[in-house]
Homo-oligomer: A and B are copies of this chain.
């Protein structure tokens, strides 16, 4: 089910078949270098989230500029990262079920592997799997610091899990997973900052209780593109998991910075290239990219470069544009760049990244973990 490549190296951008997922390589590299400097100046480690890019090629580029490894959400993603040359992977998520745990335990013979837990029974199952393979797995306790998804209540319940991990022959307690997912897209700067400061109190309380039980907390990891500076600023987090910064999207672009501007510290480097396939009248044009080319769970894509042209609705294979009074005249077959509403699930719809520099196709990389869901 791997589909044909939409481009060839050396092609001008206009010749790329559509819909295609394209990377502006200059902007992408700008983002990688900027984050590398940013985390260095903040004094934290960076473990970018591969759930965004699903690509060992990109993972290795992040590691080349200083990242300590990768995060991912699924065992299948971890397998693809390790196979692609990444030797330190944290599954920043719970892994449940014998099949998955045995795959994780096998993988831990070939790379440094971490996983998160929020359940006592699960700790025993992870240990059983790693015992079977004679491997060692780093286990972090996930605490719920306000996201309201997975994770135990901060404090005593986390200590209980850490003690259980320490008692296991093939597991090592490796710290706390503390990710405030809900805070990433709080628009206001100070509101976003307050959410992380509040979250940091939960983490500190847990570290203190761990200390009281004689357990050292080797690291606190979490944070995303919307908040990583705040986590780093608290001094509580050792490691930052920001991933979307390498691409950005419409949703992150709506966050506000301290001076009240839209968040454009990192540049949009990821686009869906689409073709104008129908121009029914002067007010409407239709693109060949809909739900199957650009995910809309966090809002519609945005049209680049064309004033007064708005992407107003998507169906499975179509995107409808309204053309305002000041819109340029579009032509049938014209290629248009869209900024995805949400980068991660958009990447997961495509098989290939087409890398473009100076309007020429320079690279074609597989979205190797596209569809790696279990």
- Residues of chain A touching chain B, judged by Cβ–Cβ distance below 8 Å, are 1-4, 6, 15, 17-20, 51, 73-74, 76, 93-97, 99-100, 118-119, 121-122, 144, 148-153, 181, 275-280, 284, 286, 288-289, 291-293, 295-297, 314-318, 320, 332-333, 342, 344-345, 348-351, 366-374
Contact = CB atoms under 8 A, between A and B. Distances in A.
Contacts of A2: 1-2, 371
21 contacts: A1-B368, A3-B372, A18-B374, A19-B374, A94-B278, A97-B333, A119-B279, A121-B332, A148-B320, A149-B280, A150-B286, A181-B315, A288-B374, A291-B295, A291-B342, A292-B345, A316-B344, A348-B349, A349-B349, A349-B373, A370-B371
Given A2-B1, A371-B349, A333 B286 contact: no
Given A96-B332, A100-B17, A119-B332, A373 B293 contact: yes
Given A122-B332, A144-B280, A76 B3 contact: yes
A19 B373 contact: yes
A272 B333 CA distance: 37
A317 B72 CA distance: 10
Which of A4, A317, A367 has the most chain B CB atoms inside 10 A of its CB?
A317
A59 to B, nearest CB: 16
Contacts of A314: 297
A89 to B, nearest CB: 15
Nearest to A72: B317
Given A292-B373, A344-B316, A150 B17 contact: no
A276 to B, nearest CB: 7
Contacts of A320: 148-149
Contacts of A371: 1-3, 292, 349-351, 370
Name the residue in A121, A278, A345, A373 with the highest tally of chain B Cβ atoms < 10 Å from its Cβ.
Answer: A373
Nearest to A350: B371
Nearest to A6: B374
A14 to B, nearest CB: 10
**Interface majority SS (helix, strand, loop, mixed), chain A:** loop
Question: How many copies of this protein are present in the complex?
Answer: 2
B96 A275 contact: yes
Please name the 4 residue pairs, one residue from A and one from B, whose CB atoms are nearest each other, closest first.
Answer: A150-B278, A73-B317, A291-B345, A96-B277
A367 B369 CA distance: 17
B275 A97 contact: yes
A281 B121 CA distance: 15
A329 B144 CA distance: 22
A371 B280 CA distance: 27
Contacts of A369: 1
Contacts of A289: 373
Residue among A1, A96, A295 with the highest chain B CB neighbour number at 10 A = A1
A66 B51 CA distance: 43
A181 to B, nearest CB: 7
Contact of A1 (B17, B118, B275, B366): B366
B349 A317 contact: no
B149 A286 contact: yes
Nearest to A49: B316
B315 A280 contact: no
